[in-house]
Chains A and B, each alone.
Chain A
């Protein structure tokens, strides 16, 4: 079957770029805030920069099939470098910029990158560290050329194989007579089957795997998903999520190139919220964590505000919760409610959305983890069209997503256009789609065990389709869903998500597989709890001290009891109530391997690392002394010592299977 898109000559990202230059050459394609001003580039300017970069790469000796690692924060120049690499017939490999040298060593070695494009000195240092620390004497480093964007601090480095991107571009421009024909040939060779990008999965288990995605994967997926949400050339997105993450590649390259919308890069990670507000994106994506963080901030600030403001906020948020989602979905609402909501919009929701930078959001998505239903409905009640999608790197993101008007907190929507989904007997979700990855790089065994001969891919998640709506519901990771000692269902994430809704709780890990009862670790949110402590005149000198404060423990005891009550309401999951818990003395951290770079808890690692604490929880002790190794940002190690209190929580009686109506 010959595909219509491919037939039209749009079989690669560079081809899409050429089309965009022809169609909207003078419209903004990229913006970046620098020196306090939004600098912008039109499609024509971006194209010129990309071509010059490509020719500069060729002058440095970039060959077809080479891997080009890209590391740094979201910047137009790095996106251009990826497209430039594609033009040369090479394969871009974006890496997580906060990865420590050891993690980077594995990936660089695995893909054998000959070129590395670094955002700044910090990343260059990491590459050099990788080479000096992780290579043995006789091993030759695979990296032959290092290109960096930010020149700062780079003066003293040995430049025998190092260049500033600016200079590479200048060289490419100067040598265009020499390379133009060759570049055109190489770009023309690209087709639907050529590799578009290689992305390393963060890997909740084991070593990262290089997911090879073809032009077909990326372009078909971008086309389908753009049409699903009617994305147009006028959309604005903020590119702030890690470039190594498949979502960013789809949004900031795939969909941006397909529809021709503008990609905005923030000034720095710290200014992201201000930049978000200034740009006012129309299409926005964030993991649940970001929404949670913003909600926590809003709540903290409302707690600190005057009595009248607080009263106004509470009153109109109650209205929004009651009728907001219905108004958003276009369901009938009484005239009085409509008026109250309109007034609320003038007084509260409008200004609040403006502060959050969501005034113009037409389509918003969250994915990556389940979002707390209360968090989700908070944003929807404000009139923000926030939806959920379910996906993974191997699917080029999209597996299922929610159509407008059919949005609920507890489902992840219907299969995306072109995607087939089936549920195996054990509840595991399988899919097959045009976005399904080609293979894992240099890993045929894993490829074979993940993707069968017919193209079905196992997601590793357990879920089911709701019969009446056809929406998919994900319960948990297939391997995490277990049985308790008495045979009842154990779904840790379900409980953890309920706990995490409380602003004071940043992270929770629930244990209980094959046990008599469930226990939990809790991470406090330093922002929220610190603010609370300040208001209540509680003095503390460190995270550790605050986390172990008796009043914090009391607060957590209350939260856990409430969660237990709500868990008990579901007869199937009543066994998952948390009987005992403790507050961890350190934040779970990716640097310590306790979380992935996308900030998902690595359950196994936590279980092993804190085995003493789990044993104590089940052993019925009331206190335990522990020492934990921590890794600082620069890679040095240290240890923290603490005595933790183990607390009992109130457990609610399970709801009877047959509900008796109250009189």
Chain B
């Protein structure tokens, strides 16, 4: 497998991965005097499942926030589909086809599952605020069309039974799934998942893994994810970036990363004697 090929490569299970979708060039991010990310470069390719891993405090979430445009790095450039991306507002990023889920679930607790997922369609709604509030004119037909898209997502993630349930009443594992549903409703080109399996039991993790693979397979969505569970990461992803103390210490296929001495040291610890 030649991963340096600019036209893409073929994965072990025979999927065709395309060219570069997003490229991080020498990213450095500082909070005051603390460097969260130091000089990191890597790329994400079309149709790929790309994982970012690392021990606690390695800067994974910061990296994801840079990708999503929420943090603007002090140094370095983010390139998206062949163009340098200027600093953007979150809705502009969403408009580019990037959606995400959060480590600490960020849903509207009092709203139903259906309404929560509908918010994922917000950027695609064309009718104005007044028309929507009055449910008048184009807003009607538009809502029907959006509802159809949302129902497809509900069907896909098998959450029909909680369609009308307020999110606040749901168990943790299902909330995570609703969050994924909301992100999917936006029909993203690039889906960012911040610890999609944190706090889940084995069965829930298996379900979530299957959904992530299905999303990638069915819609061809490119996925970048952060995950703690090494087993899951190695099974799911095509390529893995490993971070430690804000630096990149490894990048490659799961197998390459697994045998990388720097990675082993970072995870198992190494004595810092002289």
Contact = CB atoms under 8 A, between A and B. Distances in A.
Interface of A: 34-37, 152-153, 155-156, 267-268, 270-271, 274, 634
A153 B13 contact: no
A301 to B, nearest CB: 15
Interface string B200-237: 00000010001000100110000000000000000000
B160 A270 contact: yes
B155 A35 contact: yes
Which DSSP category, helix, strand, loop or mixed, fits chain A's interface?
Answer: loop
Contacts of B160: 36, 267-268, 270-271
B14 A156 contact: yes
Given A35-B151, A36-B151, A152 B156 contact: yes
13 contacts: A35-B151, A35-B154, A36-B154, A37-B151, A152-B156, A152-B218, A153-B214, A156-B14, A267-B160, A268-B160, A271-B160, A274-B161, A634-B206
Nearest to B153: A35
A439 to B, nearest CB: 41
B161 A35 contact: no
Given A152-B156, A156-B14, A36 B163 contact: yes
B161 A156 contact: no
A634 B154 CA distance: 24
A269 to B, nearest CB: 9
Contacts of B148: 35
A35 B152 contact: yes
A36 B151 CA distance: 7
10 closest residue pairs by CB, A with B: A270-B161, A35-B151, A271-B161, A36-B151, A267-B160, A271-B160, A268-B160, A153-B214, A155-B217, A35-B155
Given A35-B148, A153-B210, A268-B161, 9 more contacts: A36-B163, A152-B156, A153-B214, A156-B13, A156-B15, A268-B160, A270-B161, A271-B160, A634-B206
Given A34-B155, A35-B151, A36-B151, A152 B161 contact: no
A268 B158 contact: yes
Interface in B151-172: 151-152, 154-156, 158, 160-161, 163
A458 to B, nearest CB: 43
Contacts of B13: 156
A274 B164 CA distance: 11
B155 A153 contact: no
Contacts, number: 36
Nearest to A269: B161
A634 B203 CA distance: 10
A634 B218 CA distance: 23
A274 B218 CA distance: 29
Contacts of B217: 153, 155-156
A36 B163 CA distance: 9
A445 to B, nearest CB: 43
Interface of B: 13-15, 147-148, 151-152, 154-156, 158, 160-161, 163, 206, 210, 214, 217-218
A153 B218 contact: yes
A66 B235 CA distance: 41
Contacts of A270: 160-161
A153 B206 CA distance: 15
Nearest to A274: B161
Contact of B218 (A36, A37, A155, A271): A155
Contacts of A153: 210, 214, 217-218
A153 B156 CA distance: 10
A482 B206 CA distance: 47
B144 to A, nearest CB: 11
Contacts of A267: 160-161
Most buried by B among A36, A37, A152, A634: A36
Contacts of B147: 36
A457 B217 CA distance: 53
Nearest to A36: B151
Contacts of B158: 268
A267 B163 CA distance: 12
Contacts of A156: 13-15, 217
B200 to A, nearest CB: 16
A647 B48 CA distance: 59
Contacts of B151: 35-37
A480 to B, nearest CB: 36
Contacts of B15: 156
A550 B206 CA distance: 35
Nearest to A272: B161
Contacts of A274: 161
Contacts of B152: 35
A36 B150 CA distance: 10
A658 B13 CA distance: 79
Nearest to B162: A270
Nearest to B206: A634
Contacts of A37: 151
A271 to B, nearest CB: 5
A270 B148 CA distance: 21
Nearest to A634: B206
Most buried by A among B152, B210, B217: B217
Nearest to B163: A36
Nearest to B213: A153
A582 B214 CA distance: 45
B32 to A, nearest CB: 43
Contacts of B156: 152
A156 B147 CA distance: 29
Contacts of A155: 217-218
Nearest to A34: B155
A468 to B, nearest CB: 48
Contacts of A35: 148, 151-152, 154-155
A56 B123 CA distance: 43
A88 to B, nearest CB: 31
B141 to A, nearest CB: 16
A155 B154 CA distance: 20
A268 B162 CA distance: 11
Nearest to A632: B203
Contacts of B155: 34-35
Contacts of B206: 634
A293 to B, nearest CB: 15
A54 B174 CA distance: 40
A152 B206 CA distance: 17
Contacts of A271: 160-161
A603 B214 CA distance: 42
Nearest to A151: B218
Contacts of A634: 206
A442 B156 CA distance: 42
A537 to B, nearest CB: 21
Nearest to B218: A152
A164 B84 CA distance: 43
A274 B162 CA distance: 10
B267 to A, nearest CB: 27
A427 to B, nearest CB: 45
A34 B161 CA distance: 12
B214 A152 contact: yes
A35 B155 CA distance: 6
A274 B148 CA distance: 20
Contacts of B210: 153
Nearest to B149: A35
Contacts of A36: 147, 151, 154, 160, 163
B68 to A, nearest CB: 28
A155 B14 CA distance: 12
B199 to A, nearest CB: 16
A117 to B, nearest CB: 20
